[in-house]
Amino acid sequence: MGKPLTEQELHNLAMNHVGRELESRGFEFIAINSKLKRHPQFVCIDKNKQYFFVIVKAIKLPENPNNYDVVWMETFKKHAREHDAKVLYAGVGLSNPDGEELPIYLNEEYLIEYNGLQLIETSLN
């Protein structure tokens, strides 16, 4: 058995996956923050110079990676509006292929559930 990944290492794994997608979509990275519970993880701009704040969340399966804390997100959306930025949420579900109760090990296979970037509407209701 290998070494189980820490919470920070799982977060970094999710960030790497999302970062590759952002790069393939042509986003330019302005800032990257890989510390746990620090948001956003990525500040990017697109070809139209629109800023995006990207929140990456690593979730242990079987929890749904597409769900996020709606109350917390309201405060973050306010922060994005103040900076004329759009918000993208990327929930990345991770699991050990031999059982969800087992840890994910360094340099071993893992399962991933990722449904892409979700645009979070930041306009006031």
The answer to whether residue 1 is domain-embedded is no
96 secondary structure, DSSP code: -
Domain assignment of residue 59, given as a range: 7-120
CA distance linking residue 72 with residue 59, whole number of Å: 17
Sequence-ordered strand ranges (E) for 17-61: 28-32, 42-45, 51-60
Which residue from 106, 108, 64, 107 is spatially nearest to 89, judged by alpha carbons?
64
The answer to whether residue 96 is domain-embedded is yes
The answer to whether residue 46 is domain-embedded is yes
The answer to whether residue 45 is domain-embedded is yes
The answer to whether residue 2 is domain-embedded is no
How does residue 37 score in pLDDT terms, banded at 50, 70 and 90? confident
pLDDT tens track for 65-112: 999 999 999 999 999 999 999 999 999 999 999 999 999 999 999 999
The domain tally of the chain equals: 1
The answer to whether residue 94 is domain-embedded is yes
Q: Is the peptide bond before 40 cis (omega within 30 degrees of 0)?
A: yes
The answer to whether residue 39 is domain-embedded is yes
CATH, residue 49: 3.40.1350.10
pTM (predicted TM-score): 0.92
pLDDT tens track for 53-68: 999 999 999 999 999 9
The answer to whether residue 125 is domain-embedded is no
